[in-house]
């Protein structure tokens, strides 16, 4: 699972790295959050197509889902592109999907968006509870992963514990800074508070430094924020599941750019 792709730097890093990552780590399935892939705000259909071609099996969005309006008709027909499950009823697209691997195993993927320090949305806990009441691991469902797109680490941790033992993995996105708490929760769900971004870390959460700093100092409108365009660090998590669907292993993945590299051994 890869964290938020930020602008051209993060997008191109993911596209270039995914084929080799799939081979090196022997990956069965790849999830990518790409809500910031288009100049930091939204996702364009051609960018989604390029990520799928590079090896992404599913793309998730977030609070910037509709910043590129042309994604709205695209998501209505592209089942591999997911928006938050707890968006209001009638929103285009879907918040979850079941994918079948070449060997016949089936994986449920869902995204929910948090409410603390975010725009008002339906309750993510209730939305996921309703989803999991219909789809239980075991039998014909071999794994389930959730991208929880939220601001507050407390809400993310509460969410992880709330569904511990019922899904394979819950990983956070949105804050663009990788957390160091990768773990298997007591009942068997792999968890990390935030995957971090795939983007230039010589930045302010992926955006060019000077305009972002000026906003804090002057407390006045500045030029529009734009992504930093230096070398990107690819950030995410490598997750291995048991036959039961529960998590066996979760480790950080960091590749390129400024952050210290971490690559799991397989």
The Cβ of residue 19 has, within 10 Å, a number of other Cβ atoms equal to 12
pLDDT in the model for residue 255: 98
What is residue 258's predicted lDDT score, i.e. its pLDDT? Answer: 97
Query: SS3 string of 146-180?
Result: EEEECCCHHHHHHHHHHCCCCCCEEEEECCCCCCC
Structure token digits, residue 19:
């084929």
* 238 φψ region: left (φ > 0), alpha (ψ -120 to 50), beta (else): beta
Query: What tens-digit pLDDT sequence spans the chain (266 residues)?
Result: 999 999 999 999 999 999 999 999 999 999 999 999 999 999 999 999 999 999 999 999 999 999 999 999 999 999 999 999 999 999 999 999 999 999 999 999 999 999 999 999 999 999 999 999 999 999 899 999 999 999 999 999 999 999 999 999 999 999 999 999 999 999 999 999 999 999 999 999 999 999 999 999 998 877 889 999 999 999 999 999 999 999 999 999 999 999 999 999 99
Conformation bin of residue 133: beta by default, left when phi > 0, alpha when psi is -120 to 50: alpha
Catalytic position from the list 39, 64, 135, 149: 64
Return the half-sphere exposure (C-beta side, CA atoms, 13 A cut-off) of residue 29.
25
To the query of whether residue 39 is one of the catalytic residues in this protein, the response is no
**pLDDT of 84:** 98
Span 7-255 CATH architecture: 4-Layer Sandwich (3.60)
Contact 253, 260 (CB under 8 A): no
Element of type H or E holding 238: strand 234-241
d(CA 191, CA 163): 11
């Amino acid at each position: 699972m890869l964290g938020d792709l930020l602008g051209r730097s993060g997008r191109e890093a993911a596209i270039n790295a995914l084929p080799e990552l799939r081979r090196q780590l022997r990956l069965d399935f790849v999830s990518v959050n790409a809500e910031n892939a288009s100049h930091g705000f939204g996702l364009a259909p051609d960018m989604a197509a390029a990520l799928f071609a590079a090896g992404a099996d599913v793309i998730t969005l977030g609070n910037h889902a509709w910043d590129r309006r042309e994604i709205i008709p695209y998501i209505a027909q592209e089942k591999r592109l997911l928006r938050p499950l707890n968006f209001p009823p009638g929103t285009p697209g879907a918040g979850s999907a079941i994918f079948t691997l070449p060997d016949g195993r089936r994986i449920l993927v869902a995204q929910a968006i948090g409410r603390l320090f975010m725009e008002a949305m339906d309750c993510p806990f209730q939305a996921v509870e309703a989803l999991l009441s219909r789809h239980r691991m075991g039998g014909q469902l071999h794994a389930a992963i959730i991208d929880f797109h939220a601001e507050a680490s407390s809400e993310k941790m509460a969410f992880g514990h709330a569904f511990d033992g019922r899904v394979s993995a819950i990983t956070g996105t949105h804050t663009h800074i990788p957390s160091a708490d990768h773990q298997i929760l007591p009942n068997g769900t792999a968890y990390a508070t935030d995957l971090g971004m795939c983007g230039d870390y010589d930045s302010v959460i992926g955006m060019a430094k000077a305009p972002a700093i000026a906003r804090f100092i002057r407390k006045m409108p500045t030029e529009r924020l734009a992504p930093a365009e230096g070398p990107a660090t690819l950030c995410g998590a490598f997750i291995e599941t048991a036959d039961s669907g529960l998590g066996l292993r979760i480790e950080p993945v960091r590749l390129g750019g400024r952050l210290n590299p971490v690559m799991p051994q397989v």
